[in-house]
Amino acid sequence: MNAPAKRIAFIVTEDWFFASHFLPMARAAREVGLEVAVIARVREHRAAIEAAGAKVIALEAERRSLNPAAAGYSAGRLAAILKAWKPDIVHCIALRPILIGGAAALMAGIPRRVFALTGTGFLGARQDIVGGGARSAIRMLVRGLATKQTHYLFENPDDAALLGLDPADSGRVTILGGAGVDADHLRAAPLPVQPPLKVAVVARMLWSKGIDLAVEAAKLARARGAPVELSLYGAPDPSNPKAIPEETLRAWSGEPGIAWRGRTEDVAAVWREHHVCCLPSRGGEGLPRTLLEGAACGRALVTTDVPGCRTLVRDGIEGFVVPSNDAAALADAFVRLAADPALVAGMGEAARARILDGFTERDVMEAVKRVYAAMLER
């Protein structure tokens, strides 16, 4: 009689987040013979997750709330789900699921845990005493929920160091190429004619993403006579405390050379129409998917010197890495690219090559499969 298949439960806040970023991990789990469940708040993406061979289990939880009582209640409900489904591995994606899922796994008696920190969010972007204290608390809480069988996944080495872990300790830590990108689907397309230099930011419309810095930099570059046009693609996120109000986005869109175009479902089409992928983040990133996608499409990258962003982009090779929170430096990068179409093209080619060297979905899947296989051998 065959032994029952081993099981893994992914714990994530929202079904859309798993569907947009982590379906390759579900497929990787299936490739090593695991039964897969995704536990999340379910809205519109159940079918996409089920198509990857995963069972979807709904868990209503407000991801914005940091109330300990609410978190404890969510952990208790999650523990009941885990006890019923009996996974062999619990894989928690992002900070809040790590805290709640780690506690639930403790209550359910499941020692094999994967803690995948995908960035520290707006807490990581804060450089004041509050941000520093929050990061210290994160380190204490996450490490406190770990077992000897816990493996950590990070999207950049800085986040490993934040938790007091050695990025080179392969027995406990794996640094992934973000969530990976499908480089067969996202391919380099011919660049539009210059001028103007067409820059796009594809991201949630959050202050922490530096959207305002991109707007200010475009204004500064245009004031210096550079033919720069900026497009903003993304929606405000009302569940995030750093969401930019829609009226602010509409006001920016009224400025010359600046357009807020709302959410897009077709990033390949965006990059066919633009030269530069920009993300002027203030911090808190894992490894931004928007930079991976822009690079896969062969576009020059302009970003800031913060964890995650600097992991992918090497200054002067795939694009420019400028100081965080510095609109003038960002404008300098725009001006330089606007004056040199050959530089734009060369950086775009380098960005595409960078993706093919460890940042594809298959690269991520193979790394995760090695983690699961090693955990199941223990």
- The alpha carbon of residue 25 and the mean position of all alpha carbons in its chain are separated, in whole angstroms, by 14
DSSP per-residue codes, 83-120: HHH--SEEEEESHHHHHHHHHHHHHHT---EEEEE---
Domains and CATH numbers, the chain: 7-179+360-377 (3.40.50.2000), 197-355 (3.40.50.2000)
Tell me the pLDDT tens digit for each residue of 11-46: 999 999 999 999 999 999 999 999 999 999 999 999
Say how far apart CA 127 and CA 111 lie, in whole Å. 34
* Helices 327-338, 341-355: inter-axial angle, 10-degree rounding: 110
Please give the model's pTM, rounded to 2 decimal places. 0.92
Q: What is the DSSP string of 148-211?
A: TTEEEEESSHHHHHHTT--TT-TTTEEE-STT-B-TTTS---PPPPSSSEEEEEES--BGGGTH
Q: Is residue 257 over pLDDT 80?
A: yes
Beta-sheet strand order (sheet of 173-175): 54-58, 35-41, 7-14, 89-93, 113-117, 150-154, 173-175
Evaluate whether 230 touches 201 at the Cβ level (below 8 Å). yes
pLDDT of residue 70: 76
Rounding to the nearest 10 degrees, give the CA dihedral for residues 31, 32, 34, 36: -40
* Of the listed ranges 62-71, 197-206, 219-228, 313-322, the one predicted with least confidence: 62-71
